[in-house]
Structure 1
Amino acid sequence: MCRHIAYTGATLALGEVLITPEHALYRQSWEPRHQRYGTVNADGFGVGWYAEGDPVPGRYRRGGPIWADQGFTDLARVVRSGTLLAAVRDATEPGADGEAAAAPFASGPWLFSHNGAVRDWPGSLAPLAASLPPEELLSLAARNDSALVWALVLRRLREGDGLGQALADTVSDVAAAAPRSRLNLLLTDGRTIAGTAWGDTLWYLAEPGRRAVVASEPYDNDPRWCEAPDHTLVVADRTDVSLTPLKEPPA
């Protein structure tokens, strides 16, 4: 459905992660190597990054394919950051909400992306949607499943949950309401990355003291890339990576 990536480590140009590597996200938009659902991610893209000394990330998003945006190549060449989250999109319903539906979604210090699809959307999540305050429903960034999943994650973050706990509990609730959903989620606060493998591929690359990368698939052929097992929570920063199994909710 989509491809996404989060990086934290030494400060570098966005393009060094997103464009330059042989199998970077840029190329994954038309030639992914491990994508299980869909083949071309041309329904929008986005990148969020953190400037030094500013906890609130900047974002650049568009509703079309990443390869058609000539301005992005220049931006990725000159903008530098130590943490970023980016995605290319294959929409469940092509054209719906355009740029507003492109990840990353953002609020305060957080950036979020969803690779997958909620089964039987939107009816399956009506009970979970009803649990949100009306003002949060009315302020959804887009009318798609990813935006509602983000709202559910964001509520937990605002209540004080850590990144990993917010993702794990949201996946459990959504999977219970909509079995057989694909819920590969990616979240960062500028320091830590959390991701879930639930129905699609998720890989991670860890070099303690240097960098951590969590992504739908590797951007190069470095043998240190590891694939996370399905139904796993991955939490990574520049010093460590932890993997925690996620349980399938009761039928």
Structure 2
Amino acid sequence: MCRHLAYLGPEEPLGRLLVEPAHSLFRQSWAPRRQRHGTVNADGFGVGWYAEGDPVPGRYRRTGPIWGDQSFADLARVVRSGALLAAVRDATVAGADGEAAAAPYTAGSWLFSHNGAISGWPRSLAPLAQTLPPAELLSLEARCDSALVWALILNRLRAGDEEGQALAGTVLDIAAAAPGSRLNLLLTNGETIAATAWGDTLWYLTEPGRRTVVASEPYDDDPHWQEVPDRTLLAASRTDVLLTPLKDVDAPMAERLASSPTLGSARAGGPPSHKEPSTWGRPTQGENRA
């Protein structure tokens, strides 16, 4: 359920990343190729993006399918950004939250999305919900599972956890409380991306030093897309992608990077050299990506 994507790199029109590729997030709203649960992501969509000089992202969300929003088509054509997070939604259960339930969720400089579902929702997470301050529970943007997941993560972030720690700790807590949940989480602050693969697909495409894309599934047939193993934490910037099994995330990221030279990395044991920047991630002339 749901498909999402985060991007860090040179400024691009939103449409070049979200609409134009042969298997873009736009197309994934009705024809995902690797989605394991659900088939149509038409219960809302959203995109959050960063403008130069402003750490707080802008956001555009709607209740209906992305293909039916003509305003988004104009927005995607003219708005440019070097960092964004976008999602198309397949609702877990019917609800009245509408636009408020569509990712990305936001607070300060963060954008967040959840691809998955919580087993036994909502009763299964009642004990975890009780760990939140009452004001945070009363401030939930929506009453869906993803909104509570975001509240749990945000509580950790505000307590001082780094992004990767906040995602990993929340995933492990929810997995213990609600076994069988699918918890592919995606978080960015405009400079880095943190993500988890837990129960659904997650991929990344990187041109080290220039740009990185993390997505539920590849938006084209570029051979340099790499799949993230299940139950893995991903930490990415424009220069590197690091993969860590979620069972090994107790120590802060900085300590793990210093002490674990075997961590998965786009620089060590990663994909072969990438295409020239002018063709990176885009079909070359005569190439059929249908």
Task: Name the TM-score, length of structure 2 as normaliser.
Answer: 0.84
Gaps of 5+ in 2: 249-290
Q: Which residue is equivalent to 1:171?
A: 171
Q: Which residue is equivalent to 2:211?
A: 211
Structure 1 residue 159 displacement after superposition: 1.3
Give the Cα–Cα distance (whole angstroms) in 2 for the partners of residues 185 and 227 of structure 1. 15
Give CA-to-partner distance per residue, 1:207-231, whole Å, 9 cap, x none: 1111101100001111000000100
For the 8 Å contact 1:43–1:94, the answer to whether it is kept is no
For the 8 Å contact 1:157–1:163, the answer to whether it is kept is yes
Q: Which residue is equivalent to 2:270?
A: none
Give the Cα–Cα distance (whole angstroms) in 2 for the partners of residues 15 and 95 of structure 1. 29
Give the Cα–Cα distance (whole angstroms) in 2 for the partners of residues 31 and 95 of structure 1. 24
Give the Cα–Cα distance (whole angstroms) in 2 for the partners of residues 157 and 246 of structure 1. 18
Structure 1 residue 39 displacement after superposition: 0.3
1:142-221 residue pairs with structure 2 within 5 A? 142-221=142-221
Give the Cα–Cα distance (whole angstroms) in 2 for the partners of residues 189 and 212 of structure 1. 14
Structure 1 residue 96 displacement after superposition: 3.4
Where 1:247 maps in the other structure, the secondary structure is helix
Structure 1 residue 247 displacement after superposition: 2.8
For the 8 Å contact 1:47–1:59, the answer to whether it is kept is yes
Q: Does the alignment pair 1:51 with 2:51?
A: yes
Q: Which residue is equivalent to 1:12?
A: 12
Give the Cα–Cα distance (whole angstroms) in 2 for the partners of residues 49 and 10 of structure 1. 13
Q: Which residue is equivalent to 1:22?
A: 22
Q: Aligned AA for 2:157?
A: L
Structure 1 residue 206 displacement after superposition: 1.1
Q: Aligned AA for 2:2?
A: C
Q: Which residue is equivalent to 2:266?
A: none
Give the Cα–Cα distance (whole angstroms) in 1 for the partners of residues 160 and 82 of structure 2. 25
Where 2:151 maps in the other structure, the secondary structure is helix
Give the Cα–Cα distance (whole angstroms) in 2 for the partners of residues 185 and 117 of structure 1. 11
The alignment-based identity, stated in percent, is 76
Give the Cα–Cα distance (whole angstroms) in 2 for the partners of residues 126 and 58 of structure 1. 32
For the 8 Å contact 1:208–1:240, the answer to whether it is kept is yes
For the 8 Å contact 1:203–1:217, the answer to whether it is kept is yes
Give the Cα–Cα distance (whole angstroms) in 2 for the partners of residues 73 and 130 of structure 1. 41
Where 2:46 maps in the other structure, the secondary structure is strand
1:90-109 residue pairs with structure 2 within 5 A? 90-109=90-109
Q: Aligned AA for 1:85?
A: L
Give the Cα–Cα distance (whole angstroms) in 2 for the partners of residues 93 and 123 of structure 1. 14
Indicate the larger mover: 58-67 or 159-168: 159-168
Q: Which residue is equivalent to 1:85?
A: 85
Give CA-to-partner distance per residue, 1:139-180, whole Å, 9 cap, x none: 000001100000000011111111111100000001010001
> Relative CO higher for 1 or 2, CA cutoff 8 Å, sep ≥ 6?
1
Structure 1 residue 26 displacement after superposition: 0.1
Ranges of 4+ aligned residues in structure 1 off by more than 4 Å:
none
Indicate the larger mover: 196-205 or 95-104: 95-104
Give the Cα–Cα distance (whole angstroms) in 1 for the partners of residues 161 and 50 of structure 2. 22
Q: Which residue is equivalent to 1:225?
A: 225
Q: Which has the higher strand share?
A: 1
Q: Does the alignment pair 1:39 with 2:39?
A: yes
Task: Name the TM-score, length of structure 1 as normaliser.
Answer: 0.98
Where 1:223 maps in the other structure, the secondary structure is coil
For the 8 Å contact 1:43–1:95, the answer to whether it is kept is no
Q: Does the alignment pair 1:122 with 2:110?
A: no
Where 1:167 maps in the other structure, the secondary structure is helix
Structure 1 residue 95 displacement after superposition: 4.2
Larger radius of gyration: 2
